[in-house]
Structures are given as structure tokens and as C-alpha cells.
Amino acid sequence: MAASAINLAQKLGLIAEPWSPRVIAEMNDYQFKLVKLQGEFVWHAHADTDETFLVVAGTLRMQFRDREEALKAGEMIVVPRGVEHCPRADDECHVLLIEPRGVVNTGDSGGDLTARNDVWI
């Protein structure tokens, strides 16, 4: 299969609901997912994997139990495995997530914001 360019803005235009990651590419066992964030997510952790958030547009506030990191477009953060965190975006924010295939967005918390996994756009 030949490689082809992926337009992030075009793919983001296909996402209607916040907190619903959509897969746009895979590299080995890792998925690249786009997601629109707005409001506060749930406190959670991923016991078996790190999770990378790359801000495409807007401001992401990554809350940790002892601090908060504010990330703007063009900035990224890697949340280490097992670290409890809670993403928040006061206004709509667009993020590229990089994580292994099969990672559930709500980690160990579950709940109403758990999105279907492996949904491609």
C-alpha cells in the first residue's frame, strides 16, 4: 500500500462530537488519533502505556493531581503510564493523540465518555 498525505484539517472536519477520538493512521502498533476536546474529561490513568497529546489548535489544560500544564498549538506532552491525568479545554481544542492500538480513552475510569475504539475516518 502506497503512502499518501493526510490532511488534519479535513479529517477534523469529519468529527462532530467532542471526546470521540478517530484514527487517521497507524505506524506499527501505534495509532494516530484526532480528537476535539471541549470541557473537562474524567480523571484516569493508563496502567500499560504512555500517551502523547499534540495540540493542533486551541489550548489544552492537562491536569495532574499536583499541577496543571497549559499547552498551545504546536506543543505536546507525554503522559507516562500510570500517571493520573484529566484533560480540559475551556474552548474547543484539537489534539492529535499517539498511543498503542486498543487504548481506551477513559483508561481505568470508564463511564459515559468512553468512546468506541478503532473508529477510522
**Per residue in 45-102, pLDDT tens?**
999 999 999 999 999 999 999 999 999 999 999 999 999 999 999 999 999 999 999 8
The pLDDT score that the predictor gives to residue 17 is 92
Tally of CA atoms within 13 A in the half-sphere of 73 that contains its CB = 7
In the chain the domains, ranked by start, together with CATH numbers, are 29-100 (2.60.120.10)
Is the pLDDT confidence value at 1 over 70? no
DSSP per-residue letters across the chain: -------HHHHHTT--STT--EEEEEETTEEEEEEEEEEE---B--TT--EEEEEEESEEEEEETTEEEEEETT-EEEEPTT--EEEEEEEEEEEEEEEETT--TTTTT-STTPPPSS-B-
Contact (Cβ atoms closer than 8 angstroms) between residue 40 and residue 110: no
Measured in whole angstroms, the distance separating CA 9 from the mean position of its chain's CA atoms is 16
- Return the percentage of the chain with pLDDT > 90, whole number: 83
